[in-house]
Amino acid sequence: MHLIDQTPLYAHGAFRDYALGVYTAGRHFARRLIGANVAEGWTDPGTIVLTPPGIDAVWEASGSSRAAVILVRPAFLSRAIEENWDVDSKNVGIIRQFLIRDPVIDALTLNLAREAAHRSPAGRLYAESACEFLADHLIHHYSTLTAIPPRPIGGLPGRRLKLVLEYIEDTLGHPIELRNLASLAGVSIRHFERAFRQSMGMPPHAYVLRRRLDAARDLLINRPELPTEQIALRLGFCSSSHLSSAFRRRIGCSPTEFRRRHAS
């Protein structure tokens, strides 16, 4: 994801990847020219532009706005098409969009930007899950494919779920990637995210964050000699401040206050 404080007043060229841009601030008149095709409108916050790769275009604007841009590799969308729809991705095209409204994409982009800014301990896992969801959303709503992808029935089988949960417990202090969890479960990433949510009642990134906070709570009580900084690093948080922020949201107080209460 790229956060742009000032969009250019003029640009000419083609993207190598799918470019998904969401305007976040500023209202200016913009025009896009692709050959003889002209599209124009106002860059209100929340408006979205989707441009497939390899399309030579000219962009003009009356002023600079703020925007968030997500670049999606063609191979990423191709894999999602073939895994979730079971069709040849070469026969599927993504249809370009200009200054449309899509509350799902708008909310997802803002959440990704927020996770990146705060360097959340579940940020990487959340980003993977969000990108899988985004690919599914783009294909379902903005492609030439009209078939609905097959939905997995039920959650993960008990043995597979046990492997995944044990892996999470063993690697709480390290980065956990969605693709590794899906591999353990023996399913595609998008299938895994849906099945895990059905089995556990929450998405993978939320479960991992909860388990890290539960472990932090246990260490605060049972290992009073450990500084909160060490506890944070041991459990995959970037710093004690990141632990404190997540701890306050879930427990309602800081780790220091929590330890003081239990010590007394």
Q: What is the CATH number of the domain that holds 130?
A: 2.60.120
- Residue 37 to residues 30, 40, 56, 68, 150, Cα–Cα distance (Å): 14, 10, 12, 25, 36
Give per-residue burial for 118-127: e unless 16+ CB within 10 Å, then b.
eebbbbbbbb
Residues 28 and 127 in one domain: yes
Residues 57 and 171 in one domain: no
Residues 7 and 134 in one domain: yes
pLDDT the model gives residue 125: 81
Residues 110 and 162 in one domain: no
Does residue 38 fall inside a structural domain? yes
Does residue 208 fall inside a structural domain? no
Domain that holds residue 164: 158-201
pLDDT the model gives residue 117: 65
Residues 91 and 220 in one domain: no
pTM tops 0.75, yes or no: no
Structure tokens at 122: 């579940």
Q: How far apart are CA 216 and CA 245, in angstroms?
A: 13
Residues 99 and 126 in one domain: yes
Number of C-beta neighbours around residue 229 at 10 A: 13
pLDDT the model gives residue 190: 81
pLDDT the model gives residue 118: 62
pLDDT the model gives residue 132: 85
Residues 192 and 241 in one domain: no
pLDDT the model gives residue 126: 78
Number of domains in the chain: 3
Residues 167 and 256 in one domain: no
Q: What is the mean pLDDT of each run of 10 residues along the chain (264 residues)?
A: 92 95 94 94 95 95 94 92 83 94 90 70 74 89 77 76 94 90 88 88 90 92 91 88 87 90 79
Nearest partner of 133 among 201, 210, 204, 181, judged by Cα: 204
pLDDT the model gives residue 129: 84
Q: How far apart are CA 88 and CA 250, in angstroms?
A: 44
Residues 125 and 35 in one domain: yes
Residues 175 and 127 in one domain: no
Does residue 93 fall inside a structural domain? yes
pLDDT the model gives residue 111: 82
DSSP code for 154? S
pLDDT the model gives residue 219: 93
